[in-house]
Structure 1
Amino acid sequence: MTAQTARLGVDIGGTFTDVVLETAGESYSTKVLTTYSAPENAIVDGMQQVCAKAGITPNQITQIIHGTTLATNALIERRGAKTALITTKGFRDVIEMRTESRFEQYDLNLNLPEPLLPRQMRFTVDERVDAYGLALVPLDMAMVDQVIDQIATAGFESVAIGLLHSYLNPAHEQAIRDALLARLPDVAVSISSEVSPQMREYERFNTVVANAYIKPLMASYLGRLEARLQAEGVTCRIFLMHSGGGIISIKNAADFPVRLVESGPAGGAVFAAHIAARYGLDKVLSFDMGGTTAKICLIQNQTPKTSRVFEVARTYRFKKGSGMPISIPVIDMVEIGAGGGSLAHVDTMRQIRVGPESAGSEPGPACYGRGGARPAVTDADLVLGKLDPDNFAGGSIALDAGQSADALDNHIGKTLEMDSTAAAFGVAEVVDENMANAARVHAVENGEDLSDYTMIAFGGAAPLHAGRLCEKLGVDRLLVPPGAGVGSAIGFLRAPFSFEANRSVYMRLSDFDAARIKTLLGELQAEATGFVRTCDADSPILSEFKVYMRYTGQGWEIPVALTQEQALHPDAATYEARFIEDYTRLFGRPVAGMDIEITVWSVNATTPLAPVDRIDETNGAQAATGQGLRALFDPVRGQFQEARIIDRKDMQAGDQTDGPAAITEAETTIIVPASRRAVCQPDGCIDVVKKG
């Protein structure tokens, strides 16, 4: 066993920290409760556990890849640094005015989310750049000096600089940054022309504010993590998973922490894409359910769907528009507050509601016995027989079914006049329907029919709920891969080094400028490649080109992928044909007689993915060996049934079992509904298919 093969993947979630070590062709994993006050403690604990299992020491680890929800949680919980915004005179209130749209138009009492920074923390300077990048009003450096005086007096830790149209001409932002750092060298500074050089000032300003808000927090954490791991004997480089599904250096992560906002879920999507490639699946619904949230992502042609804008911290029933828009490259997914720790309650209309509030790991669900009194999804799962109280998280956490039943009685049952089993059934059905509805909406928004899809489920709680979710969605096939309980951490180890550079430059096809396009895309390619080279000096680097196009006058654009030949030898007819092809696929028909325009140009530099061998699938040959029976609640029949218990590690290729059944392992349990049959595939995936 050599250190040359030792790679560690670490995913800090809202409830558990997942750690996976791959060495000498073997994989070792563990789940430990997240330590909120010092997240690095959970990482070290998990690292020591997997190293002991593998028989190596931490100094033999050659690479660590890390993803975390710390950035997301800091934004949601509003516990970032004391941050100021410097913007163009007259645009102080952009992040508060938003887009002036109402995400719930019939709610007369609608309250818009508060901006990340209140008005007294937003400052303006006299300057103006127009929509072509020309300076109409020069930057007033005397006013800049006055603002810096105010920032120094108030003791701000971080400053965001977002000026109008700076994505076309960053000179004024750069001048303000230089003046700030000359006076206040210890203050963290973020400028929008580097963080998010894209049009639409609300999204861009909000993104640079978010980056500045979490920059000191993440820099402190990453510094502590490096020091703590070095104290444990770790000498290898540490890399971070970013929201676009690739890996960046720890320095780049510290400079652009906003790119870490969806790092954990992105790892899960990469994991699902790897499984999809192994099975040759072109239409996959990735379902990741952990302790705090559930994430749903469409994967087509073994590639997760991506976007350049997403929302954090939606405040109003998960409605689009009610959150904080972040304009960065990201894997496109829908995320809802539906995890094992999501808390249930009865609202004023006597309806059961689940989430988004979570019990997390401190105190955790009632069954943890750590002081939690309110019922969580995990409590409902325990009462319904989905979980073994003596073997949860590999036996490291003993669950108390009595406390779960009491919590369900006190907070659900007494109000609705039902027993704890009926209350648990209600909670489970509500959370499953919430997830199913989120999947339906996401599919419709992308013009997809989920009945053609295969679900791949992972995360500690997903295999408990995926079978029921498939029944609700009409999905006939479910794959639960080995290591499903720590799927995102495994995904980190499958991800390439990558970085996406983008820039807004408006151009109509009627004014197509091939020379300008070639120069622009060449600059973006060099920028993205430079970031990747800070992580990997030797591997070949591929470039993926994308432009965002729309008909003139439309409010939003669609992404159009280009080959390197199409990108670097641009031709207006080719760009038009590619746009019409994608537009017709999405909306049914093109629009005749309208000019087409390009708003954003993007180049993603990435190291090649490792080749994936196809699986020689089996349909099942023999019955799996059972470990006994236990009572498992059947939501279709509304009653308990005897279900087979099977230890996953005892299943061999071709072993099969009909539902109802519970296939157990250290990190999760796969619930096989009565309508399904489970087959163990040669790579260890449990293939759950509809009977008959």
Structure 2
Amino acid sequence: MSARLAVDIGGTFTDVVLEAGTAAHSIKLLTTPDAPERAVLDGVRTILAEAKVPASDVTLVVHGTTLATNALIERKGARTALVTTEGFRDSVEIAWEHRFEQYDIYMERPETLVARDLRFGVPERVAADGAVLLPLDEAAVRTTARQLKALDVEAVAVCFLHSFTNETHERRAGAILAEELPGIAISLSCEVCPEIREYERASTTIANAYVLPRMGRYLGQLEADLRSAGIPGPLLLMMSSGGITTVETARRYPVRLVESGPAGGAILALTVAAENGIDKAVAFDMGGTTAKLTLLDDLHLQRSRQFEVARAYRFVQGSGIPVRIPVIELVEIGAGGGSIARIDALGRVQVGPDSAGSVPGPASYGRGGTEPTVTDADTVLGRLDPARFAGGKLPLYPDKAAAALKSISDQLKTDSAGAAIGVAEIVDETMASAARVHAVENGRDTADRTLIAFGGAAPLHAARMARKLGMKKVIVPVGAGVGSAFGFLRASIAYEVVRTRHMRLDLFDAKTVNGLFAGMRQEAEGVVRLAAPNETLVETRQAFMRYRGQGHEIAVALPNTNFDTGATAEMRRRFEETYATVFGRVIPKLEVEILTWTLSLATARPLPKPAPEPKAVGAPKASSRRELIDPATGQRAQAAVHERESLAPGMALDGPALIVEDGTTTVVPQGFRARINSLKQIVLEDVT
């Protein structure tokens, strides 16, 4: 019997999922920050033993990791240098030349990943149209290489001006550096991010070089450890775009692994939406450290080409390190089970963004944590069974949770239950507000959507959040507690190629564009075929377009066919349709231009058809009862407790109730009804 493994390393928990035939098994372990691979291997060995599946049956391992993200946030990457066009070494520090917090006189910018004494300029110059204005001074590159060697540099990022139009100088400089500095990791911007906008291109290339040595060592060691454990299947890596790729590609472009975990969750949500025939949804992933929200429309995920890492002000755009990579567009906030609560200077309850993580963890873990967290509040509210948390492998201590909340209850002049209600309401409102803003920024609304909840903490908070957002339905999929890992196993093997070629729409050159896409297809297919030599591939094209004179573009879907001389009208129609969706109007009689082109190639993974509704079979019998406090009303009630494994399709129950499983607990508040659909997913419906 063939088996497949998925591993998701989060800030608090490491999730492992095993699919063997029609059976699925999952396990949660605390992440080991000092050596992330330790929790991975412990989890793999444990789940294989519990499922009685020999390691030799595992044909595939898909891995998502926060290692690249954490290295950037914690500044624990390689000692990196930048080689750029002479006179432009300070561009990465000048950045966008604006204040992201205009009225904060103490505003601090994020530190650059490359200090000024490790930034070097060499004589060369390419014009915006690709013409060589000044030939590359190869002697200067060799002199720079000797300086880098003396400075014990571990990685080098090469980013010359306008190399996205002519990469000759950059590639020659990279070859000289590789010759002079054997064993040093080298990243070229013409490979990592061949796009217009110098600062973002340099920032992305530097980030890639910064994490490349560490990720290379980690992936090499993990691959060797899996082989030693007797697992013959290949190791594939989840990318931020929602596709999976080979270790070889991940080693070259580790920056593409940033936000790989949330991408897996979005893929799961897309599958669940298809299974339930839902056109509009919000994917809600709440783990131990953060909460992530993603919009789904017409069974498509929103995607972007820019993301910020290590923000100095966590929720302020422009305060982080920009990386231009294919990414599923989402909003991420510091609202997880481990998020720390406190009273601020104005006497208000604040939750996050800092987290207790896995070490020491929330106070209720009994591992030395003393600060109150969301998990401690959920424990006091009666939502969590102390003996069932994380499958019973991590007992909770309600007394320690109540003691931690005392720092809040004393200031609010209430008891631990009152403090827990305050913490729960604030974190729910924070997440709901983030969802509203994210929807509005994308020209969408939340009220007519379905909430798809997964992650260890999401089913605890989903119903209350849905009510705040005006949603009437919540779906909790099977294995929700480890949802992102399940999503890894449903992702396509994929790769995206991008090229900047500026072109006015009224001067559209079909021959040039067709040749451009042919080259992009060849590059993408070369990567995808490494892991999928015989599978059917699906091609997706986009153009990033704008009205002439605007500073930023919008993504416009393109047909997968060659263009002819009559393509101009169709491209304008597609642009105006997309523009009107985002901004509510179009601008007549204004020229349109295309700046960047992308081509994505992925193995075919057709979405499932909607499952039929099961026949109603009545209400199940509760296994026990537990006192549950409803934050919306402050009232206590005896809630029926149901084991999720005992609930069959067609069963329905009314709140207040708790549906417990190893990875999470689903809270069914008063006024909600839970029913089990034909796929054993929990569907919560507001019946008030």
| Counterpart AA for 1:512 | F
2:162 counterpart of 1:138: no
1:489 is paired with a residue whose SS is helix
CA contact (8 A) 1:545 1:567 kept: no
2:440 is paired with a residue whose SS is helix
CA distance in 2, matches of 1:526, 1:325: 28
Out of 356, 363, 385, the position equivalent to 2:360 is 363
1:565 is paired with a residue whose SS is coil
Show the 5 A alignment for 1:190-589: 190-410=187-407, 412-565=408-561, 571-589=567-585
1:24, distance to aligned residue in structure 2 (A):
1.4
Structure 1 gaps of 5+ residues are none
Distance 1:297 1:567, change over 3 A: farther
CA distance in 1, matches of 2:77, 2:279: 40
2:35 counterpart of 1:23: no
| Counterpart AA for 2:441 | E
Q: How many residues end up aligned between the 2 structures?
A: 688
1:44, distance to aligned residue in structure 2 (A):
1.5
Cα deviations by residue, 1:550-569 (Å, 9 ceiling, x for unpaired): 00011111111112126588
1:349 is paired with a residue whose SS is coil
CA distance in 2, matches of 1:364, 1:634: 25
Cα deviations by residue, 1:315-366 (Å, 9 ceiling, x for unpaired): 3251222222110111000111111111122222222222221111111111
CA contact (8 A) 1:497 1:607 kept: yes
In the alignment, what sits opposite 1:632?
Answer: 628
1:31 is paired with a residue whose SS is strand
CA contact (8 A) 1:278 1:612 kept: yes
CA contact (8 A) 1:625 1:651 kept: no
| Counterpart AA for 2:669 | P
In the alignment, what sits opposite 2:69?
Answer: 72
Cα deviations by residue, 1:370-418 (Å, 9 ceiling, x for unpaired): 11111111111111111111110111011111111111113x2333333
CA contact (8 A) 2:644 2:660 kept: yes
2:515 is paired with a residue whose SS is helix
In the alignment, what sits opposite 2:97?
Answer: 100
CA contact (8 A) 1:521 1:568 kept: no
Tell me which moved more, 191-200 or 349-358. 349-358
Distance 1:515 1:120, change over 3 A: same
Tell me which moved more, 202-211 or 41-50. 41-50
| Counterpart AA for 1:321 | G
1:302, distance to aligned residue in structure 2 (A):
1.6
CA distance in 1, matches of 2:316, 2:628: 34
2:337 is paired with a residue whose SS is coil
CA distance in 1, matches of 2:606, 2:444: 29
| Counterpart AA for 1:301 | D
CA contact (8 A) 1:47 1:58 kept: no
1:635 is paired with a residue whose SS is coil
CA contact (8 A) 1:436 1:469 kept: yes
CA distance in 2, matches of 1:573, 1:189: 43
1:582, distance to aligned residue in structure 2 (A):
1.2
Distance 1:567 1:430, change over 3 A: farther
In the alignment, what sits opposite 1:6?
Answer: 3
CA distance in 2, matches of 1:344, 1:177: 49
Cα deviations by residue, 1:543-596 (Å, 9 ceiling, x for unpaired): 111101000011111111112126588721211111111112222221111110
CA distance in 1, matches of 2:282, 2:565: 36
CA distance in 1, matches of 2:88, 2:629: 57
CA contact (8 A) 2:454 2:476 kept: yes
CA distance in 1, matches of 2:470, 2:116: 49
CA contact (8 A) 2:142 2:180 kept: no
CA distance in 1, matches of 2:666, 2:566: 51
| Counterpart AA for 1:581 | E
CA distance in 2, matches of 1:263, 1:90: 36
| Counterpart AA for 1:51 | L
CA contact (8 A) 1:12 1:69 kept: yes
CA distance in 2, matches of 1:470, 1:344: 22
Aligned-residue sequence identity (percent) comes to 49
1:49, distance to aligned residue in structure 2 (A):
2.2
1:104, distance to aligned residue in structure 2 (A):
2.4
CA distance in 2, matches of 1:569, 1:359: 59
CA distance in 2, matches of 1:540, 1:103: 45
CA contact (8 A) 2:271 2:607 kept: no
1:443, distance to aligned residue in structure 2 (A):
0.2
CA distance in 1, matches of 2:341, 2:111: 26
CA distance in 1, matches of 2:302, 2:616: 32
| Counterpart AA for 1:656 | A
CA distance in 2, matches of 1:566, 1:6: 41
Show the 5 A alignment for 1:173-188: 173-188=170-185
1:224 is paired with a residue whose SS is helix
CA contact (8 A) 1:241 1:264 kept: yes
1:105 is paired with a residue whose SS is coil
CA distance in 1, matches of 2:84, 2:426: 45
CA distance in 1, matches of 2:607, 2:151: 54
CA distance in 1, matches of 2:103, 2:440: 23
1:80, distance to aligned residue in structure 2 (A):
0.7
Q: TM-score normalised to the size of structure 1?
A: 0.97
CA distance in 1, matches of 2:380, 2:60: 41
The two structures, once aligned, show a CA RMSD in angstroms of 1.4
| Counterpart AA for 2:416 | S
CA distance in 2, matches of 1:285, 1:367: 30
1:90, distance to aligned residue in structure 2 (A):
2.0
In the alignment, what sits opposite 2:118?
Answer: 121
1:406 is paired with a residue whose SS is helix
1:313, distance to aligned residue in structure 2 (A):
2.3
| Counterpart AA for 1:454 | T
1:510, distance to aligned residue in structure 2 (A):
2.0
In the alignment, what sits opposite 1:603?
Answer: 599
1:136, distance to aligned residue in structure 2 (A):
1.1
Structure 2 gaps of 5+ residues are none
1:62 is paired with a residue whose SS is strand
Distance 1:103 1:397, change over 3 A: same
CA distance in 2, matches of 1:40, 1:381: 30
CA contact (8 A) 2:274 2:607 kept: no
Tell me which moved more, 281-290 or 311-320. 311-320
Runs of 4+ residues deviating >4 angstroms? 566-570, 618-621
CA distance in 2, matches of 1:636, 1:17: 32
